[in-house]
Amino acid sequence: MSVATPLPARQKRVLIASAIGNFIEWYEFAVYGFMATLIAQHFFQLKDTSGLTSLILTYAAFAVAFFFRPLGALLFGRLGDRYGRKPTLIAVVLMMTLSTVAIGLVPTYAAIDVAAPLLVTALRILQGLFAGGEYGGAVSLMTESAPPGKRGLYGAWQSLTVALGLLAGVAVVAALPLLIGESAMNDWGWRVPFLLALPMGIVALWLRSGLEESSQFRQAKDNQQTTASTGATLRAILLGIARLMVWSAAGYTYLVIMPTYLQAALHTAFNQALIIAVVSNLGFAVTILPAGILSDRFGRRPLMLLATLLLLVLAFPLLKILQDPASTLWVKTLAVFVAGALVGILAGPGPAMLAEMFPTHVRYTGLGLAYSLSNAVFSGGAGLIITGLMRQTGNLDIPAWYVAGTALVSFFALLTLGKNDHQKPL
C-alpha cells in the first residue's frame, strides 16, 4: 500500500479517531511552547523576578505536567488493557480537552495574584495526567488494526499528527497577531488558541464513539491473557525509554523550544523565529510517512540508527548555523528543515517499534509508559534544563550538547533492535 492508496472506511476511521487525540495534545503542546514568553508575562512574572526567571517558572510548570504523564499512562493503560481501548480513549480525550480549554479561562497574575500561576500549573498537571493515557491506547489500536506488513505506516500516522498539531499550534499563534493586532494578542488574544481545543475535542469524541475494539484485543481478552512477567515488562519499558530518548530530546529542541531560544538567546525577531519553527516542523512532517513505509520494507533498525547517528554528528554544525550572524534566513531555515526531517525519520517507525516490544495484554500500559517517561524527562524537562544551564554557564551551545548526549545513548539502545522485528506478528 502506498500513502495514496485509499483505505477501507473502517480502517480510515480507526486511524483518524485514534490520531485526533494526539493532534489535540500536541497542538496544545505547541501553543504553550510558542507562547511561553506571553504566558510568563501574564502568569509567572512574579514580584521582583526577572524576565528570564519568569520564563524558567513557565517551563517549570510545563515540565511538571510531563512528569504526571507516566502516572496517566499507568492508570489509563491498565484500564485500557483490561476494559478496552475505546472507552479509555474517549475518557482521556474528553478530560484533556476540558483542561486545555480551562487554561484559556484562568485570570492573570495581575487579577488574582499567586493563585494564577498555581491554577495554570494545576491544569497543566491534569493535562499531563490525561495526555499520558492517550498515546498508548491510540498506538495500540492503530498497530493492532494494521494489515500484515503495514504496522510502520499505520503507526506513522500517529506521529504525523504530532507534526500537524505542532504546525496548527504555530499557525494559530502566528496568525492571531495579524488578525487582531499585537496589542490585542498580548491583552486577550493569547487565550484564543487554548479555547479552540473545545471544537477539536467535540470532533474527537464523535469520531471515537464509532470505534470498534481491535480483533487482537478481543482475542487476548477471550483467551484471558491478563498476566505478564513484571520483570520482562519493566525491562522492555526501560529499553524503550533509551531508544526514544533522542526522539524526545531532539524533537522538543528543534520543533518547539527553538523559537524561544532564538528570541531569548540570539535576539531573533519574533516573526523570523516563527518562520524557522514552521520550516522545522514541515521537515518533520514530510519524512514521517515515508519513514514508516520504508521501515515496513527494510526494518525499523537501519532507519532509526541512521537518523540517530546524523543527529549526533550534526548537532553542533546545525546550531552554529543558527548562531552565525552571517547566516541568512534561507540558510537557517534549511538547517532546521534538516533537523526536523531527521526527527521525522525517528518518529515514523517509532510507534510500531514500541508496539512490537509488548504483548497485547500489556501493550497499552507498556508502550504508554515508555513513551510518557521518555517525554517527561527529555521533552518536558528540556526547556527547563536547557534554559537553566544556559543561565548558569552562559554557554549558548547547550541545546547541541543536549541533543548529542541523548543521541549517543539512543544509538546503542537501538542497536538491540532485531533486524526482522517488523516481520513478526504482534
Average pLDDT over residues 40-67: 78
**Each residue of 172-199: pLDDT tens digit?**
988 999 999 989 998 999 999 999 999 9
Whether 400 and 319 have beta carbons less than 8 Å apart is answered as yes
By percentage, how much of the chain surpasses pLDDT 70? 95
4 band by pLDDT with thresholds 50, 70 and 90: very low
Alpha-carbon span 146 to 11, nearest angstrom: 8
- Supply the pLDDT for residue 2: 42
The rounded mean pLDDT for the chain is 88
3 band by pLDDT with thresholds 50, 70 and 90: very low
Domain residue limits, the chain: 9-423
Q: Answer yes or no: is pLDDT of 41 > 90.
A: no
Question: Closest Cα partner for 153 from 257, 253, 42, 300?
Answer: 300
- Supply the pLDDT for residue 1: 40
C-alpha cell of residue 104: 484559556
- Supply the pLDDT for residue 227: 58
Range name among 171-175, 212-216, 232-236, 332-336 with the lowest pLDDT average: 212-216
Q: Answer yes or no: is pLDDT of 252 > 80.
A: yes
Average pLDDT over residues 390-412: 92
- Supply the pLDDT for residue 340: 94
SS3 assignment, position 146: coil
Range name among 15-19, 34-38, 105-109, 404-408 with the lowest pLDDT average: 34-38
Integer angstrom CA distances of residue 275 from 38, 78, 141, 151, 330: 18, 41, 35, 33, 10
**Each residue of 131-150: pLDDT tens digit?**
999 999 999 999 998 888 99
Q: What are phi and psi of 128, to 5 degrees?
A: -60, -40
**Between 399 and 48, residue with greater pLDDT:** 399
Name the amino acid, one letter, at 336.
V
286 band by pLDDT with thresholds 50, 70 and 90: very high
- Supply the pLDDT for residue 63: 76
In this structure, whether the domain defined by 9-423 belongs to CATH 1.20.1250.20 is answered with yes
- Supply the pLDDT for residue 53: 76
Q: How does 227-249 read in b/e, with b if 16+ C-beta sit within 10 Å?
A: ebeeeebeebbebbbbbbbbbbb
Q: Answer yes or no: is pLDDT of 313 > 90.
A: yes
Average pLDDT over residues 102-106: 94
- What pTM was computed for the model? 0.85
Integer angstrom CA distances of residue 335 from 237, 242, 278, 328, 390: 33, 26, 12, 11, 22
Q: Answer yes or no: is pLDDT of 226 > 60.
A: no
